[in-house]
Amino acid sequence: MPMPAEDIVALIEAALPGAVVEMRDLAGDNDHWAAKVTAPQFAGKTRVAQHKLVYEALGERMGGELHALQLTTQAPN
């Protein structure tokens, strides 16, 4: 079963307080998502480390319930 955007956002925001998450459905199927995550926890971290924090927030859902996620991350200005 596909994972709704609201569930993805809730998981990321719970793991990264203060994060702003923008979601876009890439295929109109609730199964292929693009997420832009801006979070204070990303400050001073490499892009790989930023992505790791997001994937940790999603846990085992990534690759299962959440089939595909195109991820863009950044620290706030």
Q: 76 falls in which pLDDT band (50, 70, 90)?
A: very high
Cα end-to-end span (Å), the chain: 36
- Give the pLDDT mean for 50-54: 98
- Give the pLDDT mean for 68-75: 96
Q: 61 falls in which pLDDT band (50, 70, 90)?
A: very high
DSSP annotation of 62 reads B
More confident residue, 71 or 64: 71
pLDDT over 90 (residue 63): no
Question: What mean pLDDT, rounded, does the chain reach?
Answer: 95
